[in-house]
Amino acid sequence: MLEERGLKAGEFIEISRHLVEEQWVPANGARVVAKGLDRTPAFRQRLFANGRAAVTELGIEMPRHHRHLVVLENTPAVHNVICCTLCSCTAFTVIGLPPDWYKDLEYRARVVRESRTVLKEMGLDLAPEIEVRVWDTTADTRYVVLPVQPPHTIGWPEDKLAAIVTKDSMIGVARL
């Protein structure tokens, strides 16, 4: 029926499959994180000043409606975690499509109210003195967490560092 009306459903499905499986992958964000940790100080500054422009430098495109990409820096004293309380929005071209648990209503509601408990249930037990900040995506703003770099990885080449970055660490529910 779609093709009778001039719409090429098969073509659309193939293009979408390619995007999801080959372009919107966590490896994009892993490259951003690796470059933003200790490899390139000038890039790191640009990443915090204008995340969208910085990731574009690496060939990562973002949809027009993702007008802002805010990069949140985890530190020894502050831990950031992202969510979307309305649906399941992420910076999908950077970190890949959201995991199933991220889309779950329970995660979306509880991470805001009980962030420390939810993180602990997911395997991340933070010390009480670490401040937890929860960031909720909006219609035009997406977030990515820049995790704390493990000390033993200082000086690693960018590709080796990128290999340890996970989608969960870029959402803020895990550490490197």
Instruction: List residues with catalytic annotation.
Output: 84, 87-89
Position 88 scores a pLDDT of: 82
Strand, helix or coil for residue 167: helix
Position 12 scores a pLDDT of: 57
Position 143 scores a pLDDT of: 97
Strand, helix or coil for residue 141: strand
CB 145 within 8 A of CB 80: yes
Read off the amino acid at residue 58. L
E-assigned strand segments in 2-153: 68-73, 78-83, 131-136, 141-146
Strands 141-146 and 78-83: unpaired
Residue 172 to residues 2, 62, 110, 119, 129: CA-CA distances in angstroms? 41, 20, 15, 9, 17
Strand, helix or coil for residue 47: helix
pLDDT 10s digit of each residue in the chain, 176 long?
667 777 776 665 565 555 555 655 689 999 999 999 976 789 999 999 999 999 999 999 888 888 999 999 999 999 999 999 988 888 888 999 899 999 999 999 999 999 999 999 999 999 999 999 999 999 899 999 999 999 999 999 999 999 999 999 999 999 99
**Token pair listed for 118:** 């939810």
Strand, helix or coil for residue 82: strand
Position 107 scores a pLDDT of: 96
151/164 Cα distance (integer angstroms) = 13
